[in-house]
């Protein structure tokens, strides 16, 4: 009896073990054949780390290959929350905020995520990186990334623009040429040890493709000269804003372009929208008397007026329809050359009345007003130029002297360059070439003639009239010692919100070129609401004088630098 019971118990135990063994075998077979991929993926994730490899953003160089935007290697901090204990997370939340300038709530929300990789702070300073490493908190790690840096800070800030944290362009050339500068990201799968530490052994890798480099037409020295002189006038006359454009009149290459207020490219996060805005291409204003170069050119090109023709300027008061036109100084009889030289509104209006609305409108368009210039910068506006059918009875007295028309500083610089280069409207451009990392050109930009505006003979005659503006007229403060120059002053009343012209808000401007023969630079300077002086011949003309003088001296001292620069801009 006892033996029988013992055998039954032994058989039961044996049967139980046999069933368990069969269950384990079936389970192993199930895992092997049905759960293999799932579990292999978990194992792979535990021993592998997927990392995106950031490409190096292209460098931006000036015309003489001086870097204006570069990349610096920096640390980016990440965490592996799945590998961190509660104590490690708590230590990170308590100790990291003071180092990284982050809130505790932000760090806590990041570390609560059930992930094996998560960014905590990207592109931190070397000091922050060293401080975090000293904490020796398990689950924190660093990856090398590149951070955009701008060696010259404020210089050409609105032109160059800036890139964001992910190295994507946000403003200026950085955004306009982003597809060339950014490159293509790569990736790598690194192996990790049993403690989940990254080993310097990669399983798979696709290398990133670095971005291309930009070579600009802008010259760092000319840019500095232009910004230095603009900044002086901007501060001296307490202006609301200011800008300057320096062109090579023969090619349309931009040698310098600046606006005020400005900002530091390395601290663009604190910059206001007003400082970031490129006023030279996106601010619309009535130009005032600088616009008289259009009327003067049209009159001579159409053979309606000669320089010696005399006009009675009504002693400073002239009625046109319902409007009474005034000159800033009363004049009697003036020759046409003196009308432009003394900037007589009445004399210019009488010339415009001879020409008629259709001819005036035709030359406004020929000089490039009312349309975008096509410059390779973001944010350019077209300006405003009314068709003759929309002119009022007083438009013939307003438009030829620079009212009822909206322009940009770039359009003014491009227009005066027409007279400087012999009558051709050129397309302005900032980027000369796009190169790869080996210096091989990917894309090149050369001077582009848009159209012929006036004949060389007309351009020469207008050039002499504008030389008289500086020698004997309203632009005497633009006279450069030892260098003949030509230019035109402008002082325009701004519109008030109610549509009336202001009596205390003005835009002062000066456009010109130098030297008179074979001009090297064409320049437009504007100051918005300067105080207490507001005449263009007083506040803007000296800026032209100093910029033109120092730029020409610099180019000449460089030993044929102008020819070299033009060759660079053309190739």
Residue spans of the domains in the chain: they are 52-84+113-195+208-216, 220-570
Compute the distance between CA of residue 260 and CA of residue 143 in angstroms, rounded to an integer: 39
Active site positions, annotated: 289
In the prediction, which pLDDT does 293 show?
Answer: 96
Q: How do residues 334-351 score in pLDDT, each as one tens digit?
A: 999 999 999 999 999 999
Kindly report the CA angle at 247 between 380 and 443, in degrees rounded to 5? 70
- Which of 108-122, 175-189, 441-455, 490-504 shows the highest mean pLDDT? 441-455
Residue 380's contacts (CB-CB under 8 Å, 6 or more residues apart) are 281, 282, 372, 373, 408, 410
Return the closest-CA partner of residue 426 out of 402, 453, 406, 444: 453
In the prediction, which pLDDT does 156 show?
Answer: 95
In the prediction, which pLDDT does 204 show?
Answer: 63
**pLDDT, greater one: 265 or 200:** 265
pLDDT bin (cut points 50, 70, 90) of residue 184 is confident
pLDDT bin (cut points 50, 70, 90) of residue 537 is very high
Q: What is the mean pLDDT of residues 325-341?
A: 92
In the prediction, which pLDDT does 564 show?
Answer: 47
- Position 565 pLDDT exceeds 50: no
The answer to whether domain 52-84+113-195+208-216 and domain 220-570 are alike in fold is no
- Position 368 pLDDT exceeds 90: yes
Task: Write down the CATH number for the domain with range 220-570.
Answer: 3.40.710.10
In the prediction, which pLDDT does 209 show?
Answer: 86
Q: What is the mean pLDDT of residues 238-249?
A: 96
Return the closest-CA partner of residue 255 out of 515, 433, 520, 511: 520
The rounded percent of the chain whose pLDDT value lies above 70 is 89
Quick one: fold of 52-84+113-195+208-216? Penicillin-binding protein 2a (Domain 2) (3.90.1310)
Q: How do residues 139-155 score in pLDDT, each as one tens digit?
A: 888 888 888 999 999 99
- Position 50 pLDDT exceeds 90: no
pLDDT bin (cut points 50, 70, 90) of residue 411 is very high
């Amino acid at each position: 009896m006892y033996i029988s019971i013992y055998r039954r118990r032994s058989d039961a135990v044996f049967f139980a073990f046999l069933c368990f063994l069969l269950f384990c075998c079936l389970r192993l077979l199930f895992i092997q054949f049905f759960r293999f991929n799932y579990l292999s993926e978990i194992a792979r994730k535990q021993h592998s780390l997927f990392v995106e490899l950031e490409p190096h953003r292209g460098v931006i160089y000036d015309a003489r290959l001086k870097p204006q935007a570069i990349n610096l290697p920096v640390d980016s901090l990440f965490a592996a929350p799945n590998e961190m204990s509660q104590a490690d997370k708590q230590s990170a939340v308590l100790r990291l905020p003071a180092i990284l300038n982050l809130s505790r709530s932000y760090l806590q929300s990041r570390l609560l995520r059930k992930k094996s990789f998560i960014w905590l702070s990207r592109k931190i300073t070397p000091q922050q990186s060293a401080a975090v490493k000293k904490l020796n908190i398990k689950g924190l790690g660093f990856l090398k990334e590149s951070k955009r840096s701008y060696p010259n800070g404020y210089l050409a800030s609105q032109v160059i623009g800036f890139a964001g944290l992910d190295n994507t362009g946000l403003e200026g050339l950085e955004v306009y040429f982003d597809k060339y500068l950014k490159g293509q990201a790569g990736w790598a799968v690194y192996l990790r040890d049993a403690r989940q530490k990254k080993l310097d052994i990669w399983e798979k890798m696709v290398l990133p493709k670095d971005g291309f480099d930009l070579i600009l037409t802008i010259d760092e020295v000319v840019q500095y000269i232009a910004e230095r002189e603009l900044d002086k006038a901007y501060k001296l006359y307490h202006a609301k804003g200011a800008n300057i454009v320096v062109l090579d009149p023969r090619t349309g290459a931009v040698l310098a372009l600046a606006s005020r207020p400005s900002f530091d490219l390395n601290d663009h996060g604190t910059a206001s929208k007003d400082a970031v805005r490129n006023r030279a291409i996106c601010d619309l204003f009535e130009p005032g008397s600088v616009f008289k170069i259009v009327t003067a050119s049209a009159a001579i090109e159409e053979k309606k007026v000669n320089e010696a023709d005399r006009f009675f300027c009504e002693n400073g008061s002239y009625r046109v329809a319902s409007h009474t036109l005034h000159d800033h100084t009363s004049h009697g009889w003036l020759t046409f050359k003196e009308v432009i030289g003394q900037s007589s509104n009445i004399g210019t209006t009488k010339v415009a009345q001879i020409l008629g609305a259709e001819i005036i409108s035709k030359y406004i368009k020929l000089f490039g007003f009312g349309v975008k210039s096509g410059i390779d910068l973001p944010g350019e506006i077209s300006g405003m130029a009314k068709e003759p059918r929309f002119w009022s009875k007083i438009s013939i007295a307003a438009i030829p002297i620079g009212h009822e028309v909206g322009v940009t500083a770039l359009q003014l610089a491009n227009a005066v360059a027409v007279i400087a280069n012999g009558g051709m409207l050129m397309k302005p451009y900032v980027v000369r070439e796009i190169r790869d990392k080996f210096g091989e050109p990917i894309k090149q930009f050369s001077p582009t003639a848009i159209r012929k505006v006036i004949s060389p003979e007309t351009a020469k005659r207008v050039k002499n009239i504008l030389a008289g503006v500086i020698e004997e007229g309203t632009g005497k403060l633009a006279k450069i010692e030892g260098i003949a120059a030509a230019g035109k002053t402008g002082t325009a009343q701004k519109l008030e919100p109610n549509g009336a012209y202001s009596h205390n808000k003005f835009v002062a401007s000066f456009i010109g070129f130098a030297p008179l023969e074979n001009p090297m630079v064409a320049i437009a300077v504007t100051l918005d609401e300067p105080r207490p002086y507001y005449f263009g011949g007083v506040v803007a003309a000296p800026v032209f004088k100093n910029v033109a003088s120092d730029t020409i001296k610099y180019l000449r001292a460089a030993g044929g630098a102008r020819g070299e620069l033009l060759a660079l801009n053309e190739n």
